Amino acid sequence: MSTILALEGLVKNFGSLRVTDDVSLELRRDECHALIGPNGAGKSTLINLVSGNLGVESGKVVLDGADISHYSMPQRAHAGLGRTFQITSIIPSFSVLENVALAAQAKAGSSLHFFGRAAEEQELNEKARSALTMLGLADRQDVRSADLSHGEHRLLELAMAIVGEPKALLLDEPMAGMGKGESETLTDTLLTLKKTMPMLLVEHDMEAVFKLADRISVLAYGRVVATGTPDEVRADEQARAAYLGSDTP
């Protein structure tokens, strides 16, 4: 199985503190690769390095064979990198459909001349509706975004990330703040989505991680201490010592 996203020796320092320490891993096509670790392990910093929110000091981020290490966030989005909760902000007063259509418009790099009326444009409208249907939000498309539940809000953010059909998707704690039922619903949605869209997932919900992930990397003190299938990571002493503990599902 070929690689769609490769991180090669990524390093990031904040002053004298090395937060990301020579991190290398790969995301293969048609897989979900989960990144787990204790608070302060450097997971968010790593995601920010991949998405372009932080600059890489050394190492490379390679997407579909192209070195995007020095691309800006918009350039990475245009190259095919999607990220939840960051590329586009939800506008509470706009409808669900309008928010997703605006995300499609931004991904296409078109003018925002029609800002606020993007959902009236047929091509954007069709893309937005397709993404909403995929995520089970088609019947909520005319609802004002401010009136969504927390779980629906997360699904909307995901729709906005996938509407541009990214080559790879970064998911930064998508289950955060969700109840058990909402988390299970989103997990089932992601199980379907990962068949067509490779994902690099950061998540603290271990039940969701072990259900979704084809492979898992464990990060501790800015370094990858273990990578493997869920069963391999469960059995790895370093992984258990760093994060998993004895209550691993």
Instruction: Give tens-digit pLDDT for 177-214.
Output: 888 888 898 899 999 999 889 999 999 888 999 999 99
pLDDT of residue 111: 47
pTM summary value: 0.87
pLDDT of residue 180: 87
Sequence-distant (6+) residues with CB within 8 A of 123 are none
pLDDT of residue 240: 81
- Determine the CATH number of domain 1-80+166-249: 3.40.50.300
pLDDT of residue 125: 85
pLDDT of residue 162: 92
Per residue in 135-163, pLDDT (tens digit) is 889 999 999 999 998 888 889 999 999 99
Low-confidence ranges of the chain (pLDDT < 50): 86-88, 111-114, 116, 246-249
Phi/psi for 90 (5° steps) reads: -75, 135
CB 9 within 8 A of CB 22: yes
Residue ranges of the domains in the chain?
A: 1-80+166-249, 89-165
Q: How many CA atoms lie within 13 A of 240 on its CB side?
A: 11
Segment 205-210 long-range contacts (CB within 8 Å, at least 24 positions apart) = 205/175, 206/36, 206/244, 206/248, 206/249, 207/183, 207/249, 208/175, 208/183, 209/34, 209/36, 210/248, 210/249
pLDDT of residue 77: 87
pLDDT of residue 107: 74
pLDDT of residue 19: 93
